[in-house]
Structure formats: structure tokens, C-alpha cells
Amino acid sequence: MQKIIDRFVKYVKVDTQSDPNNPDFPSTEKQWDLAHILVDELKEIGMQEVTLDDHCYIMATLPSNVDFKVPTIGFIAHIDTSPDYSGTNVKPQIHKNYDGGDILLNKAENIVLSPSYFEDLLLYKGQTLITTDGTTLLGADDKAGITEIVSAMEYLINHPEIKHGKIRIGFTPDEEVGKGAHMFDVKKFGADWAYTMDGSRVGELEYENFNAAGAKVIVHGTIVHPGYAKRKMINAMLIANDFIAGLPKNEIPQATEGYEGFYHLTGMQGEVEKTELEYIIRDHDMKLFEQRKAVFQKVADDLNKKLGSKLVEVEMKDQYYNMRKKIEPVMYIVDIAEEAMIQLGIKPLIKAIRGGTDGSQLSYKGLPCPNIFAGGHNFHGRYEFVAAEAIQLATDVVVNIAKLTAEKAK
């Protein structure tokens, strides 16, 4: 347990935030810092064929230790952390034997992590929690996943009595900005299927995710002196406000759950002459997803018609699709993961992801890739936390999947 904690803490202290506004690959140079650490560590524990390519993708192999044919399976996690909140100077705090009460993250700023607001804390009463100091995110998304994969490989190497086929592992950059699978070489990876270790609560097992699009709304105005503006000024910020009000008001993240889709305003920047809105559009159902995009465009078209001029522009681009379509024909790969959890006394929580993973894009590139819990909660913010015991359980699941896959092949 202490080794797992130490490994995780080492990873999260490395700033690896990605940048959604940089087209370079990877989008930030600092992702290389952790990549080089991981390459050295993988070689040190005995992994083979360790590679780091020009786009910051790491791949490595644990060779089969059996003399019969076993499908090659993979485990994948991402290096980067979210640009939504600072990942600089992360200072993890360890709370042993959590008592179920409030946790004071930062005394100076009175930042408190409380189960009265974050009820999932109570799932880990009596366990060792790792939190932030309230000024940064933690990075369990997805450095918990990296920790689990590396720890599982080390365990299998040190316990050759556990029989397994060939295992490939991959660590990707830029997942948080939607590019994590864009340059992933599925043929080079060479696995029959894989699992991303990128979920949250213990037991999560997911093979459905959102269909996703990103959209930018550009509103053009006209600036003149406000004292002489009558019938001349066009305030782009006010038109942008009309656009926001034109979308269904209850179809937003904080008012939806389960299979309900949403429109999410993620950023806005404006002046009288020009205002830009950034949105993400999400829905599990492809038909509803297409309808959402049509509604989004119609709001802009209606505003332009009302204004008598094309002052509102929309740029919209699909990002990824629901991997369910690609997983259902090979559901046995989900069944293996489910059985691996049950054997460890973990109750599988099979549900749809209200988000996306590298696995969704990889599934469409020919590598079926369900998602497994990594253990963290409250991703992308100051209240992020993970239990060390959850990281251990996810590590055990990786080991057991490898073992079960070999047993079923035999």
C-alpha cells in the first residue's frame, strides 16, 4: 500500500496539464516530464519493448509466460491533467483512517472537503484518503490509472506463478483536450482489445459514453461612442446573452443525469465589437445528438434572421462517438472485467459514462476498449480525492483480468 501511495504521489507532483488552445502534439511540453519518468520506471521494473514516440505516446510489453495462445490485451491511461484547474505545484495530503467528517484542505483559505456536499466521501470511511491542499487539482484523473497499470505489471513480473498472455500497456497525452487517441498507433499497439483505467468510483465498468461535439459561437458587433450610439452600436455581448437564453435552460450539466444530454457553456470572452462563446454538446443517443446540434444551429439562425444580418457565426465539430456500437459485438471483454471484479469481492457498477475516454475513440479505430474505475472522485477541481485502497483494488482488477484471460483461453 505504501509503495502505491508513494508512486501515485510522485506522479501527481509532476505538472502535466494539457492545453486546448495549442494545436501542437502534445499540447504542452511539460507532459514529456512525466513521460520520461515513466519510461525509466517501466524499464526498471522489467517491462520490455518500452517506447516513447515523437508525440509522447508510451507503449510497453509484458511477454506471455504460457505456452498456449492467449489474446493480447492492453491497459491504457493518460498522462495529462485537465486544463480546467491548476495542476502546478500539486501538494497531496494523506489522511489515514478517514473518520467520515469534514477534511480541512487549506486552513489559510478555509477550504473544506465535506461529506455533507460530497457524499461519496463516506464510501471510504476508515480508509486512507489522498486529497489536494485546496489550491490545485490532484491529478487522480488519470495518474491513479497510471499507478494501477504500472503497479499491476510490477506485481505480475514479481509473481510469475500467475499465468498470463502477452500484455501491452499504453500511456497517452492530451486526453483531457480530446486528442488522446488521435495519434495512437493501434496496429503498433497490437492488442486484440484493451481497457482504459480512467473511471471513478470503485466498481465502475463502462462501455457506453457520450456522442460529443465542440462548438464556438462568434458574435460580431459594432463599437461607437456610447454617447452617440443610438441606432449605431451593436453590442455583441448582449446578442451572445440572447444566444445563451435561446438554448433549453434545463438541458445543462447541473440539471441532467443518466442518459440525459446537455449543452455546456465552457467559456466566454467578449467586448462590444466581438464576443465568443465556447460550448460542448453531449448526448448518448446518436439521433438526439444530431437533433441537439440542429437546435444549436437554429438558435443562431433565428437570431440572424431577427437581426437582419449574419452577426452570429457557429463553428461546430464532432469530437467522439458512443463506443457502445463497437463494444456490443465483443461483449465478452466486458464480461471478463465483470468477472474479475466479482472474484475480488467488488460489486460491478455497469453504467454509461457521462463523458468520454480515449477508449471511445480507440474503439472506433479498431481497438475495443471499455473503461474501468481508477478510484478518484471530484475530478478537475480542488476537491478531487482518491482512496489508496481504491487504487489497490483497481490494481488487483488489472492483475485478475490478465489471469482470467489466460484461463479462458486455455
Domain 211-319 indexed as CATH 3.30.70.360: yes
d(CA 10, CA 154): 17
Cβ proximity of 321 and 378 under 8 Å:
no
178 pLDDT band, cuts 50/70/90, is confident
The shares of helix, strand and coil residues in the chain, as percent rounded to the nearest 5, are 35, 25, 40
d(CA 395, CA 403): 13
Cβ proximity of 45 and 68 under 8 Å:
no
Annotated domain spans of the chain:
2-209+322-409, 211-319
Mean pLDDT of the chain: 96
pLDDT digits (tens, 9 = 90+) for 69-88: 999 999 999 999 999 999 99
pLDDT digits (tens, 9 = 90+) for 112-157: 999 999 999 999 999 999 999 999 999 999 999 999 999 999 999 9
* In the chain, % of residues over pLDDT 70: 100
pLDDT digits (tens, 9 = 90+) for 338-355: 999 999 999 999 999 898
pLDDT digits (tens, 9 = 90+) for 289-335: 999 999 999 999 999 999 999 999 999 999 889 999 999 999 999 99
pLDDT digits (tens, 9 = 90+) for 196-249: 999 999 999 999 999 999 999 999 999 999 999 999 999 999 999 999 999 999
More confident residue, 374 or 178: 374
94 pLDDT band, cuts 50/70/90, is very high
State mean pLDDT over 7-26.
Answer: 96
Q: What is the pLDDT of residue 95?
A: 97
Rounded alpha-carbon distances, angstroms, from residue 206 to 78, 196, 308, 333? 17, 10, 47, 11
d(CA 237, CA 268): 10
CA 56, 59, 62: angle at the middle one, nearest 5?
160
d(CA 23, CA 21): 6
State mean pLDDT over 29-38.
Answer: 98
Catalytic residue from among 15, 19, 80, 174: 80
Q: What is the pLDDT of residue 357?
A: 80
What CATH number matches the domain at 2-209+322-409, 3.65.10.10, 3.40.50.800, 3.40.50.720, 3.40.630.10?
A: 3.40.630.10
d(CA 106, CA 93): 10
pLDDT digits (tens, 9 = 90+) for 352-400: 989 878 899 999 999 999 999 999 999 999 999 999 999 999 999 999 9
Kindly report the number of other CB atoms within 10 A of residue 384's CB atom.
Answer: 25
| Beta strand 167-172 pairing with 73-78 | parallel
273 is catalytic: no
Q: What is the pLDDT of residue 291?
A: 98
175 is catalytic: yes
Q: What is the pLDDT of residue 355?
A: 83
Q: Residue 282 forms beta bridges with which residues?
A: 212, 262
Catalytic residue from among 175, 176, 198, 396: 175
268 pLDDT band, cuts 50/70/90, is very high
